[in-house]
Structure formats: structure tokens, C-alpha cells
Structure 1
């Protein structure tokens, strides 16, 4: 018998022994947590990480940050920027399967699905979405958010998650688009509002009771809801309940990176780590690829294009602009409205400055080369994209 086979058999028996001892059967995964950035200090993050490790032996928790007095493994990084480089390297190498962090710039098209415990009935609910931007077009973004929520719920083991659309601006066009997708063959399990008039457009009461498994909304509203659900008992400065702002989901995006707030307390950080581990065990990236394959078969792309045609003014003003040669874009310019973000990028391209759009902690950002921030800001200011 070769040494390889002996090693494999040994690992299988070791895993079985661990599962019998802990009562938890399942794939063991490694989850990283970045330490720097919390408003409540490094100790708060480490406490949350240690709580998560104690509660689930099937998850190995590792820290990314400065050397600390802890029994957890530490990958050393001494700035927030360095933390993100280390965590991306660990994810891409497969050394860790998921990461929990703060203030991460997801690309446009990726946004996060939060997980809360609703106060009315103590039921868990996914809020799709809570940070990031699925699209610069509001209705298109919310349609994508519904898919992101379904992906996340399925990765968490809910085979047929119920879906409701929060009654915010754009809810009805979103409903029409999703029902067209459903009629084309994509399976969406719409839920009825608890209110007497029913329908899949949800009211405030449905938020409090957790009527749907997945509550669809725009990211900015979702972000506010997350803050309300997580800190309504503490006055807002300390997020005490829930699982954080969740994983970044988007078509073709395969990194499992979850967001917590700088105001998140140790209990939320511990829960977010558990959430990250469960998503890794549920193969969220594979489920995402599969769901988008099904949605595209049901003509998702055509439906989204149809939504954009509604904006005739934007269509008439559209012009083809070629991007300059690509550069490293580590500098960011904030203050551009989300609806103007892509136009701002094109304005810089027209002026010979390579730029990309993104989403920072406080909202949309235009990303350019560090050496060109001043020049780019001047161009955007002249074109009235920024003050």
C-alpha cells in the first residue's frame, strides 16, 4: 500500500473520529478574519474569532493581522491594505476557503447578501443585498439581487427559498422581470405577504416577521436594514445580533468574501465566521455558477437589456468610448453618484486616463492610478461629476 493511500485512509478515519466526538459531520473548512479596522478594537475581533472557533470544530479560524496573544493561527499583516493582499492570496491559493473582512471594494456587479434574525418571530432572513452595487441601473440591480439571495440561501441548505420584494422604488418592474424569468423556466418560489392583500411585494410587517427567506431590495436600503436589525437594541454604535452583511455574490465571481461592519461586535463577528464556514461547506461558488447557468437559459440577459431600454434619455446620450491602455488602479475618487458612475469613467477615458468603477465602504468610487488622482479629480470636477 502506497504512502499516499495510507495518508488518505488515515485522514478519513481522523475526520470520522472528529465528527463522532463533536457530533458535527461535514467538510472541515478554514475561514480567515482580518483583524484591523474595527471601531471596537483588535481585541473585539479576536474575541469573536475565538467564540466562533469554540462553537464549531469543523471550522478552523485563522487571523490576518498583527501578531496577537491568541491560540489561533495568525498570518501577519500590519495595515488594512496589507491584510487584503494577504487574504486574497490565501483565498486564491486555496489555503483558506472563505474570508470575513471590513471595508472591501467589490467590483461592480457583485454585492453582499446579509443574514439577520427578525424580531417578530425570531426567524432568520437573507437581505439581498446589503453592500456593493449589482448594477448602476436600479431595477436591473434588484433583479440580480434576487438571484444573489437565492444563490446564498441554497448554499445554506434551503432547497427552495421563498422570495419577496420589498416595497421600495422599482419593486413592480422587478416583480415583472422576475416573473418573466420564471415563465421562461427559471424556478422562483415567490411568497405571499402576511398582509390581507397578499402579493409578493413585501411590507414593513413582512420585514419584522421574516415572511420570505430572501428579501429583495436595493443595496443602500439593505445596508440600512442590516444596521437596524443588528443594533436596534444597542443604540447603533455596537452591532450585537445577526450574521453580518454577508458574501459578495455575482456572476463569474468565485471568491467567498463576507463583510462585517466596523461597528460589528464580537457576537456578530463570531456569527459571520460561522456563516462564512457554512457557505464554503455548501460550495456557494458552484451553486452560483449553476444558478446563473439556469437563469441565462431562461433569457436573463434579454430581460435585463429590456429594462435598460426603458431609460430612453440615457440610451440617446450613449456614445462609444474606447478605454486607454490598462493601468494598476489603487487610487480612488469618491463623491460620484451611482447613476453617473459609468459616465464618469468614460469621461476619464475620453481624457486619456484609464479608470474603473467600484464600490467602497461609503459608496461608489472611481478607481485610477495613484499618480493620476489629482488630474482625474480635476477632469471629473470640470465635468461636474464631483464637487
Structure 2
């Protein structure tokens, strides 16, 4: 064997060792493609991002019309061709994942975003940010919680904390998730860092990163991602974080992550590395396992319950004799507030509705607090107390 051949073998071994240190798997890097056409910052921005991702341990492919050192180009002439090429590469197994600016996910699939919170620089998953988990809002948010847990676990967080943003549907989502936990699906509820705590999060908690997974509807999540990724750049250049994330849904077997046309090079690079983590973390296997666990905990039946419209009575309910009401009961969904009051009246408990600093409240006399809470819990207007977090 010649000295040149020996040197080539040594060089190959050192390259493989370097790949091992970067990828964590001998001789293998996550194969991640990104579509370049359609970016508001130009196709070259995507190529630059891919080149940086390649230096960070990604086997990068750009689906576009240009070239750059260190990156493979899959040549196409327009966006339509780019998406066809993306599908082809995924179907043939030539790439493990793809990052793209839009994708028509089916109903039941939505994306879990990932941000860096400005308060403490903590990473947080936003569940979800694009797509539609369900046409029913509460059912969708319950699913979003599971999607967020799947994504966090694939990124190495073994027992992610879960918070629910205080939007319409949050309290009913909390009730459904509490049931799911009680029936065997392990959910590690987060606690708000505000004084009154609880798993329902306030805006402050978004900034502080009080939960690993923050659950909300996808429209709100989309807004959050846009704000967190571009607030330092004036809104037209998304520079921070990892983008809108992977599409998650039961039975969906493609690893496709979403970015925006406004996404800049740092975010695109982050999205490609995010994709690489999900590949190495075996997202598909984790998703299969988590869905199986959730169904064993009666997920289907619990989701059916979220669609039921609770009414205290269709008949006119008269209020009992008026009393001084100083005791506050929180955790009521805004859409259920008046029905909850009428339910208490029907049970001979005088109550009034109000709005506290954390959302809707019911006011009752101090002497009736325990009775009122039990009536509301038994009829699923508020969640049962949890010994967690």
C-alpha cells in the first residue's frame, strides 16, 4: 500500500470521527433538505443558512436553482417543482426531513414551534403554530398538548412540563388533560410563575418560559412565533429561534418543518438543526408510542366529551335570595360562565359572575364556597384540584 493510500485512509477515519462527534452516530448525519424559492430575503439567504447548518453536523440539501460550497443542490426552476422534488426525496428515503415555507397538512396535523424566550433565554415549544389539529378548538388544544410532548421528548426532554396559555378554551383543555392524566397518560403540568400558580399560563409566563411546552390554538401560536422570532428586527426579518416546527399528527409519517417567507438565515439554520435533532431523537417512533399511551388512557372518549355543550338547564332558572359574595372561584371558561352561575342557582347557591386578574370568576358567599366548587367540579365547569407541579 502506498503512502498516498495510507494518508487517504487516515483522512477518511478522521472525517468519520469528526462526524461522530457532531452527529452522535458513527458515520451518519441527519439528511435535511430545505426549499429555497419564495423567500422574501432571496434564495441565496437559504443557501447561506444551509451552508452553516452543514458545518454544524447536517447533511444539507437545498432544493433551488443556485449552488454553494458544502451543500448539495437539487435543481428546480420554480416553487411547484420544489415541492414535488421535496416529496420525491422524502418518498425515496433520500432525505430524512425537509424544511419548507408552506405545506398543505391534512386536518389533524399541526406544527410545534420552538422559540427562545427573552426573559431568561430558555427554549420553549409552542404547540401549535400552523395547521389544524381539529375543527373543534378544545379538542385541537388537547391534541396540541400531546403533539408538544412528542416534540419535546424527541429533542431530549424526558419529562417536559406542560402549560396552557390563557386563551378561550384553556380551562376546558385543562379539565380534559387532567382526565387524561388521571386515566394513565403521564402529563407533567407546569406551574405559572405568577403568585397564584396553576397550569393555565399568563403572558408573563411566555416571556419567562414557565413551561417546556406551551399549549394554545394554532392561530395564537402562529402569532407568538412571528413575534418571538422577529421582535428584534422590526417584524420583516425572522432572526431568532427555530421556526414553526414539524407537522405532528396521528398517522402522519413525513418529517416536514415549516418556516416563513420572512425567515432569515439564522432562523433557517436553526430550523434545519431542529430537524436534525428530531431525526436523531427518532420523532416518528416517539409519536407512535405517545399516541398509543394516550389511547390507552381513553383519549378518544375524552375528546368526545370536549364537544359536548354543557347547559345548566334550558328552563328559566331564578336566582336564590341575594347574599354578600366575597369568595372567588376561578378556572371558569368564559363561554361557560353564565351557565355555571345558573347551575349554582339551580342548586340553591347564590352566585354572580365577574372578571378577576387571571380571567373569569364566580363570586359566592364564603359559607357556600366548598359546596359551589363541588357542584362546578361534578359538572365539569372547573378542574379538580391537582397535587402536582
TM range (shorter): 0.7 to 0.9
Correspondence for 2:64 = 65
Correspondence for 2:375 = none
Correspondence for 2:167 = 168
Q: 1:193 to 1:184 in 2, by over 3 A?
A: same
Q: Aligned partners of 1:80, 1:211: CA distance in 2, in Å? A: 39
Q: CA deviation at 1:82?
A: 1.2
The alignment covers a number of residue pairs equal to 299
Q: Aligned partners of 2:300, 2:146: CA distance in 1, in Å? A: 13
Q: Aligned partners of 1:28, 1:126: CA distance in 2, in Å? A: 24
Correspondence for 2:331 = none
Correspondence for 1:43 = 44
Structure number with greater Rg is 2
Q: Aligned partners of 1:84, 1:173: CA distance in 2, in Å? A: 38
Instruction: Output aligned runs, 1:289-304, within 5 Å.
Output: 289-304=288-303
Unaligned runs of 5+ in 1: 1-9, 313-387
Q: Aligned partners of 2:310, 2:41: CA distance in 1, in Å? A: 44
Residue pair 2:23, 2:29 contacting (<8 A) in 1 also: no
Q: Aligned partners of 2:260, 2:193: CA distance in 1, in Å? A: 31
Correspondence for 1:29 = 30
Correspondence for 2:386 = none
Residue pair 2:43, 2:64 contacting (<8 A) in 1 also: no
Q: Aligned partners of 1:50, 1:97: CA distance in 2, in Å? A: 18
Q: 1:265 to 1:129 in 2, by over 3 A?
A: same
Q: Aligned partners of 2:161, 2:203: CA distance in 1, in Å? A: 17
Unaligned runs of 5+ in 2: 1-9, 312-389
SS at match of 1:106: coil
Q: Aligned partners of 2:48, 2:310: CA distance in 1, in Å? A: 49
Q: Aligned partners of 1:311, 1:62: CA distance in 2, in Å? A: 52
Q: Aligned partners of 1:257, 1:24: CA distance in 2, in Å? A: 20
Q: CA deviation at 1:246?
A: 0.3
Correspondence for 2:17 = 17
Instruction: Output aligned runs, 1:231-310, within 5 Å.
Output: 231-310=230-309
Instruction: Output aligned runs, 1:123-142, within 5 Å.
Output: 123-142=122-141
Q: Aligned partners of 1:165, 1:15: CA distance in 2, in Å? A: 45
Q: Aligned partners of 1:48, 1:29: CA distance in 2, in Å? A: 16
Q: Aligned partners of 1:228, 1:88: CA distance in 2, in Å? A: 30
Q: Aligned partners of 1:184, 1:13: CA distance in 2, in Å? A: 51
Q: CA deviation at 1:126?
A: 0.2
Q: CA deviation at 1:290?
A: 0.6
Q: CA deviation at 1:173?
A: 0.3
Correspondence for 2:54 = 53
Correspondence for 2:379 = none
Q: 1:191 to 1:131 in 2, by over 3 A?
A: same
Please tell me whether residue 96 in structure 1 is matched to residue 95 in structure 2.
yes
Q: CA deviation at 1:66?
A: 1.6
Residue pair 2:183, 2:298 contacting (<8 A) in 1 also: yes
Q: CA deviation at 1:69?
A: 4.6
Q: Deviations over 1:244-269 (max 9, x none)?
A: 00000000111000000000000000
Q: Aligned partners of 1:135, 1:265: CA distance in 2, in Å? A: 30
Q: Deviations over 1:324-383 (max 9, x none)?
A: xxxxxxxxxxxxxxxxxxxxxxxxxxxxxxxxxxxxxxxxxxxxxxxxxxxxxxxxxxxx
Please tell me whether residue 159 in structure 1 is matched to residue 142 in structure 2.
no
Q: Aligned partners of 1:69, 1:60: CA distance in 2, in Å? A: 13
SS at match of 2:141: helix
Q: 1:71 to 1:53 in 2, by over 3 A?
A: closer
Q: Aligned partners of 1:237, 1:226: CA distance in 2, in Å? A: 13
Q: Aligned partners of 1:15, 1:113: CA distance in 2, in Å? A: 34
Correspondence for 2:113 = 114
Q: Aligned partners of 1:19, 1:70: CA distance in 2, in Å? A: 18
RMSD: 1.8
